[in-house]
Structure 1
Amino acid sequence: MAWNTSSSVFLLLLLVPSTVAAIFTNKTGCGTTKACLFKPNGCDPNLDCTTGVIFYVIGPNKLRVEMVAAALIPSVQQQYVAMAFSHDTVMGSDAVTECTMSDMGPLAGYEPEIFVSFNKGKSNDRIFLNKDEQNVLFSDISSEVADGRLVCHFTQQIIPQIDDKNGMIWPLNRDYYIMAATGSAQPDEVNAHDMNKGSHFYPITSSHRINPAKLTDQEFELPKAHEPPKTSVAPPTVTSQRPRPTTSSSGSVSLILSILSISLVQILNN
């Protein structure tokens, strides 16, 4: 039986698995113009890191963030990778940026979602942003879930040009300890990360404070902090009133003396 050459080529193309260009996480510059946290130490974020975060300045008021994580075992429908900005090395009172993705279940194939949240003690509260605020704070979002790995890249404003939501969204031009974590998520919140310190999925924390705004070899001017629109308050209405006439005490005394003088004169004349 003779093979049709064109059919054979077509069949071979079907049998060869297609490869999609992966989102590459670049370690070049780590320790100089980039801050990098990897677990385990020395791992390759494109291959074998269980958790990894790289961030650096790419332009005026623009911080590029690259997050990676290994898929949880057992697998979950939604998984997050998050980084927290903290004044100390303990979870609590931290500003958080989180990326949530899914590659299974009803949420598979959806675009990654970037959220801001705040650690209140050992709990995490997500902060609501409307669509306009979301688009101002975050841009250039890309992600990939493949081969048991989650990758999420995005750009975040260094000085947020939106309302700070009662002080829960922080400017990123200050010194912070950086924490990175991954765990399962729900549509409205993240679940607790692995609490076993010996686990590969236990969070990592930077050994020293880092100022994200200084991770660049070029200085960029930063804008002023966002100021909420001022609410005009009408001045209080002042009603003018005419003073009531009052009788002067000195005038009364003068009138009495005049009457007495007239009476005395009349008596003397009589």
Structure 2
Amino acid sequence: MILRLLTGFLFIQTSLAQGTFDPSTCGQTKGCLFAPTGCVPSQDCRISFSYQVQNGQTLQMEISGQPPNPQAGFVAVGFSKDNSMGDDSVSACVSNNGQTTGLLAYTPAKSITVKNSPVQTTIQASATNGNLYCVLRRQLGNTGDAQIFDLNGTYYVLMADGPLDNGIPTYHSNNRWVLPRTDIGRYGTNAFGQTIQRDDPGSQGATSGTQHSTNDKLKIAHGILMVLAWSVFIFTGILFARHFRGHWPNTTMLGVKMWFNFHRTINMIGVGMTIAAFVLIFVANGWQWSGPKANASTAENQAWSSIHSILGLLACVIAWAQPLNAVFRCNPESKARPIFNMIHRFFGFSAWLMAAAATMIAVVHFNGMFSNRDAALGLYIAYIAVAGLTLIVLELIFIRNFFVSRRGVGNEIEMVRIQRLQLAILLLYIVCAVGLAVAICVLIGLKPGDLA
């Protein structure tokens, strides 16, 4: 009998020492969040996180996950006022050379500052079969440190895992997830020992903000302007310059042919929208550059947000330079004019390609910028397909016209038919581009707010 009791006691102690995340009480006595979104707890989730208020004074958290290098890695949960990294309070479970413990930190940007504070204590920590598990207890209320947030409120929850560098979590370019705004203080007991009861925001305690801060509104406007500028206006302007020079040969406006009026007007509208969008995102980011920096780490410079920024900047700068170099173009009869045309076309189309790449990065990696990221991704893939197909068909017609012209076998009636076909293709593209771009803009405009 004594042997059985001793065996049972040792089993319980071993289980507590190792620690496992129990999802069975999620949504009942504790709130839980898991990453990636849609994963099955205890099966394929990379990170599991639970939170429970105790007596209205402390927050008990469980953090569990499998970092790429469990011997020198971390699993972290960040509490953010917006849906992006920077100005976040972080609690983490770290394992370094066989020692597993909790960690309290603050991320001013894409870096981390460890906070040595009694506000957070480690109740339990273990590393078993590559899985880290920590139970942390964190003080609620005003901590006296602006970098250690009072978690008895609503925050975006950012989850990440990655390696350590000299015992400190490093920047994680890929293994990161943004979860909706969550009421961290919803589950548990208050100061009187009574069960906390708040409006049910969802089975896991997550809720999306219904209001947008000024910075969030600026980011929304930036996204909408960029999508419309590059998808509708600038690409249409490129098509006019490339494939519609022969249309309306006897019609002019302001002394120039109609194709050039369309090309110039549409592109200038698009360029104006990119300038406005560029200013808006810089204002939203506090006039801070978020792209690659000389003093940033390789991981930071290779982050998708950094690549998005540099591609967007290059695309915009080239687009802004195009009207300027057009002012200094040589005379149409000059032998150098074909060279100018080739350079002008090359840079114009290159700018659009970089803008398209930057937009694709946004719809793939910037989950928080859309009310439905998957829908936005599908819509933008459809747009790229429409734009690519339009360009290919018009190029085939251009090549066909070139050889017909050289052979001198064409006639005026046939040319009129070809031009009508080109116009029909252009109109079809414009209708599809406007529809798809507006749909993406709606998803941006309906994104979850960053305020409760």
Above 0.5 in TM-score?
Answer: yes
Does the aligned pair in 2 maintain the 1:52–1:180 contact within 8 Å? no
Does the aligned pair in 2 maintain the 1:158–1:213 contact within 8 Å? no
Determine if the alignment matches structure 1 residue 124 to structure 2 residue 106. no
* CA shift digits 1:205-228 (9 cap, x unpaired): 222x22322222x43369xxxxxx
- 2:81 maps to 87
* CA shift digits 1:22-64 (9 cap, x unpaired): 413121342354322212424234x542112111113331211
Determine if the alignment matches structure 1 residue 97 to structure 2 residue 91. yes
Determine if the alignment matches structure 1 residue 213 to structure 2 residue 192. no
Q: 1:182 to 1:29 in 2, by over 3 A?
A: same
Identity of aligned residues (%): 24
Q: 1:44 aligns with which of 41, 44, 58?
A: 41
Considering fraction of residues, name the structure with more strand: 1
SS in 2 for 1:192: coil
- 1:147 maps to 129
Higher normalized contact order (CA 8 Å, seq sep 6+, divided by chain length): 1
Normalised by the length of structure 1, the TM-score is 0.58
| Residues 27-42 of structure 1 mapped to structure 2, 5 A cutoff | 27-40=23-36, 41-42=38-39
Mapped partners of 2:120, 2:101: distance in 1: 10
* CA shift digits 1:45-89 (9 cap, x unpaired): 4x54211211111333121111111141xx364111111111111
Query: Where does structure 2 lack aligned partners over 5 or more consecutive residues?
Result: 1-12, 194-452
RMSD: 2.6
Mapped partners of 1:77, 1:146: distance in 2: 11
Normalised by the length of structure 2, the TM-score is 0.36
Q: 1:203 to 1:33 in 2, by over 3 A?
A: farther
Q: 1:124 to 1:221 in 2, by over 3 A?
A: farther
Q: 1:76 to 1:70 in 2, by over 3 A?
A: closer
* CA shift digits 1:166-203 (9 cap, x unpaired): x111111221111111111134521111x23xxxxx22
Offset, 1:96: 1.1
The AA in structure 1 aligned to 2:141 is: I
Which one has the largest radius of gyration? 1
- 2:376 maps to none
Mapped partners of 1:71, 1:29: distance in 2: 25
SS in 2 for 1:43: coil
Does the aligned pair in 1 maintain the 2:93–2:102 contact within 8 Å? yes
Query: Where does structure 1 lack aligned partners over 5 or more consecutive residues?
Result: 1-18, 197-201, 223-270
Mapped partners of 2:111, 2:149: distance in 1: 18
Mapped partners of 1:151, 1:91: distance in 2: 23
